[in-house]
Structure 1
Amino acid sequence: MHKIAVLGAGFMGAGIAQVAAQGGYNVIIRDIQKSLVEDGINTIKQELDYLIEKEQLTQSEKEKVLARIKGTTDLAELSDADIVIEAVVENIAIKKQLFAELDNICPEHTILATNTSTLSITEIASVTKRIDKVIGMHFFYPVPRIKLVELIKGLETSDETIKIAQSFVRDINKEHVLLKRESPGFIVNRILIPYLNEAIFVYGDGIAEKEDIDSALKAGAGMPKGPLEISDMMGLDTLYSITMVLYNEFKDTKYRPHPLFSSMVRAGYYGEKTGKGFYEYD
């Protein structure tokens, strides 16, 4: 196994491409526009420069990592990849369309992985003729700094596919947990989202100021970051999307979004990435 392809050059896709290249793999990163691909590669360069500043990487190592990464807008260039990791928008219709196309482009041995944080692996796999070679491979933002990868079995994911995915995750210096069957939100988000959502309700209901909510969880529960800080870091649009998937799947009111949360997302207040969420950012 030598070549990894990443679909989507946003923050998640760029991060996955970076850690794969740092792990010694040749990587091709693809997006629909050249400007998006260039933005993704620039994101990787900035992250590598950060590692150099922290004395965790040398200039020579940076150049070797970048030499392993190629950008493209042509989906056909993924035809010789050993693993394709899809990291596009969290929309089941778009993911299924891409997987159907990849199934026709890629050779039989290629494993198709999705970075979805909530959606059904089995449903995504259903549009392919290789349902045994489709797996969930959920990375966390920011990918270069968060060690965990959730591996999620679809209904027909083979043991061999799981072994290859586990080997890849170890090669890129990540830790993994394996879900024996898919479930909305997997492990982390199924536990994390209600926690964040309840903090949003405490704030939205006017019970406490945002700073006090975050301080309470940091000082009282030993959390390194407060729940509203985490929400802004995740991206409120992403958090809202995951919350709604869990709400619709489980029909449990603990997942319902607060009206203030919904209004913030509609206003485009997504947190750190837009400069405004629960907090404001420069």
Structure 2
Amino acid sequence: MTGHVYRVGVVGCGTMGAGIAEVSLRAGLDVRVLVSAPDRTEAAERRIAAGFERAVAKGRMTPQEHEAAAGRLRITADIADLADRQLVVEAVAEKLDVKCRVFKALDAQLADPAAVLASTTSSLLVNDLAGTTSRPQSVVGLHFFNPVPSMPLVEVVLTDRTSAGSAAAAEAFVADALGKEVIRTRDRCGFVVNALLVPYLMAAVRMYEQGVAGAEDIDRGMTLGCGYPMGPLALLDMVGIDTFTAVAQGMRENGPDLITEVPPLLTRMVREGRLGRKTGHGFYQYDQAS
């Protein structure tokens, strides 16, 4: 692909999908968000609107900019509406079979053979997704971080089949259009950030599980002793215990040299609905889900 990306598609409107749509709209791009069913469109609209409202409240966006951005958004349940997109970001569940189905469907729909297909996966191999398409040279990973509007980094993941043009278009979208920092990484389990972060977080979970120290003391140890802005267990609550567990399990399957075992406590917390801030209870209790 040559030139700038103006027409962006986002598949999925959960936390990551909504965040990517929000920053793309704020960058002045034309955005279409694909949801799984027509009855999901209103919830998607509310989620993205809530992000705009927070930005306005914090003085990061004017009401007029909010209105203009909303006018560039279309939410649809019909994948054919993504046919003219120059770049599509997949942001669905962290499950290989689910993502592969999305990539196959997008491959069949996108009219431009050079349109970039990107995945937000944080634990799966991008090459496995590329292999389900007829255009593996156009497939990249774009690993955004949560919350997308405030986190400055995106990992751009390139497979051995990604073309120079697709790599350049993806990096220009992230850096020039969205104004975020880029680190380029090859396609390996966990890429750069999660290959370092996930083992650290799981060590904190094991420490808590074994009764070595309480949650507050573990977190204070890392914030006060190492200068980290947030302790590991508080970070897990913010990310979501279910989200992190899915990432850890994916890394266990794809990179057993990095992850040997997922702590049983995590799967138990998911089963009990203790997912962190979004349910009001994780390693800490919260006044309300957020």
Q: Tell me what 2:184 maps to.
A: 178
**TM-score scaled by structure 2?**
0.93
Task: Return the alpha-carbon distance in structure 2 between the equivalents of residues 223 and 255 of structure 1.
Answer: 25
Change (3 A) 1:103 1:280: same
Task: Return the alpha-carbon distance in structure 1 between the equivalents of residues 254 and 181 of structure 2.
Answer: 28
Q: Tell me what 1:25 maps to.
A: 29
8 Å contact from structure 2 (residues 36, 77) kept in 1:
yes
Task: Return the alpha-carbon distance in structure 1 between the equivalents of residues 109 and 255 of structure 2.
Answer: 36
Task: Return the alpha-carbon distance in structure 2 between the equivalents of residues 34 and 224 of structure 1.
Answer: 40
Q: What code does the residue aligned with 1:267 have? A: E
Please state how far the C-alpha of 1:139 moved relative to its aligned partner: 0.7
Which of residues 56, 66, 90 in structure 2 aligns to 1:52? 56
Q: What code does the residue aligned with 1:40 have? A: A
Please state how far the C-alpha of 1:245 moved relative to its aligned partner: 2.1
Which of residues 116, 126, 129 in structure 2 aligns to 1:124? 129
Please state how far the C-alpha of 1:242 moved relative to its aligned partner: 1.4
Please state how far the C-alpha of 1:173 moved relative to its aligned partner: 1.3
1:47-196 map, 5 Å: 47-107=51-111, 108-170=113-175, 171-179=177-185, 181-196=186-201
8 Å contact from structure 2 (residues 124, 254) kept in 1:
no
Q: Tell me what 2:218 maps to.
A: 213
1:197-236 map, 5 Å: 197-236=202-241
Task: Return the alpha-carbon distance in structure 2 between the equivalents of residues 94 and 247 of structure 1.
Answer: 18
Task: Return the alpha-carbon distance in structure 2 between the equivalents of residues 185 and 276 of structure 1.
Answer: 27
Q: Tell me what 1:266 maps to.
A: 271
Please state how far the C-alpha of 1:262 moved relative to its aligned partner: 2.2
8 Å contact from structure 1 (residues 199, 227) kept in 2:
yes
Please state how far the C-alpha of 1:49 moved relative to its aligned partner: 1.4
Once the two structures are superposed, what CA deviation does each residue of 1:91-149 show, in whole Å capped at 9, x if it has no partner? 11111111111111102121111111111111101111111001101111111111111
Between the two proteins, what is the percent identity of the paired residues?
A: 36
SS at 2:221 equivalent: helix
8 Å contact from structure 1 (residues 244, 255) kept in 2:
no
SS at 2:118 equivalent: strand
**TM-score scaled by structure 1?**
0.96
Task: Return the alpha-carbon distance in structure 1 between the equivalents of residues 215 and 95 of structure 2.
Answer: 31
Greater Cα shift, 240-249 or 152-161: 240-249
Which of residues 246, 270, 278 in structure 1 aligns to 2:283? 278
8 Å contact from structure 1 (residues 9, 37) kept in 2:
no
Give 5+ residue unaligned stretches, structure 1: none
Q: What code does the residue aligned with 1:94 have? A: V
Q: What code does the residue aligned with 1:21 have? A: L
SS at 2:8 equivalent: strand
8 Å contact from structure 1 (residues 232, 278) kept in 2:
yes
Q: What code does the residue aligned with 1:259 have? A: P
Change (3 A) 1:154 1:213: same
Please state how far the C-alpha of 1:166 moved relative to its aligned partner: 0.8
Which of residues 219, 240, 244 in structure 2 aligns to 1:239? 244
Q: What code does the residue aligned with 2:277 have? A: E
8 Å contact from structure 1 (residues 217, 223) kept in 2:
yes
Task: Return the alpha-carbon distance in structure 2 between the equivalents of residues 237 and 9 of structure 1.
Answer: 17
How many residues matched?
281
Please state how far the C-alpha of 1:255 moved relative to its aligned partner: 4.2
Task: Return the alpha-carbon distance in structure 1 between the equivalents of residues 251 and 95 of structure 2.
Answer: 14
SS at 2:67 equivalent: helix
Greater Cα shift, 268-277 or 9-18: 268-277
8 Å contact from structure 1 (residues 10, 36) kept in 2:
no
8 Å contact from structure 2 (residues 123, 254) kept in 1:
no
8 Å contact from structure 1 (residues 197, 255) kept in 2:
no
Task: Return the alpha-carbon distance in structure 2 between the equivalents of residues 87 and 254 of structure 1.
Answer: 23
Q: What code does the residue aligned with 2:163 have? A: S
8 Å contact from structure 1 (residues 96, 124) kept in 2:
yes
